[in-house]
Every structure is written in C-alpha cells, then in structure tokens.
Amino acid sequence: MPFVQIYLGAHLTAKNKKDISLSVHQSLQDHFNIPAADYFQVIHVQQPEDLLYPDSYFDVPHTNNLLYIRITARSGRTVEMKEALYKSIAGRIAATTPVKEEDVVIVLVENELADWSFGRGIAQMVVK
C-alpha cells in the first residue's frame, strides 16, 4: 500500500521515468514485501529551476539529475528494512538510468492502516 511520489527533472526521458518507477516498485516488493499489484505512483516532472538542492550535503555531491522520492507507507518496518530499501532503490536507479546513487533523495513518511482509502470512501485496511 505504499503511495510513491517521484519528483524529477524534465530532461529525463519517458524510459528513464519508467525505469525509475519500476526500480522503486521492485525494491518495495523485495524489502517491504508488498504485492506486485500494489502499484500507486505519481511522477511530478519539474523544470530545472523548480528542483532546489545544495551542491553537497552530508558529503554527498548532487547534480542536475537529482530526484526526490517520497514514499508514504504504513508504519512497522525496521530500520534495517528501510536501509535495505533505500540502497536497493538508489542502486537500481543508477544501474538503469543516467541518475547516480548520490542523486537519489528518499523520504519515507509512515502512517497507520486507518489512514488509507482505495476508493468508495472506505478504509479497506481497517479490520472490523
């Protein structure tokens, strides 16, 4: 049930966008054990002047290929699962696109089962 928002530069191709999307989804399957059909993502294409970042942060250099990935998911994953997820996402993106691992910024936002509705105004994940 993760909901993924990806913010990236307009210079990246349609194939790059698909590869980034699949990298995130496959990593979520592998490390958060989500089902294949649990594929809810939005890609936000940004003009260069709309992606703001420092040249370096925590000794990690950034370039104009920087992208932001925001994952909203239910709480309950361990720190180790999260670290493995981040490494997997960055590695897969770097292996299939011109984006380097250093340019993949990930923010994980956690919530609870009652915070989700997949349609019909129903909180389907709440057990009644």
Of 85, 78, 122, 96, give the one whose Cα is nearest residue 16.
96
Cα distance between residue 121 and residue 16, in whole Å: 34
Q: Which of 2, 48, 54, 98 is catalytic?
A: 2
2 is known as an active-site residue: yes
Q: Which residues are catalytic?
A: 2
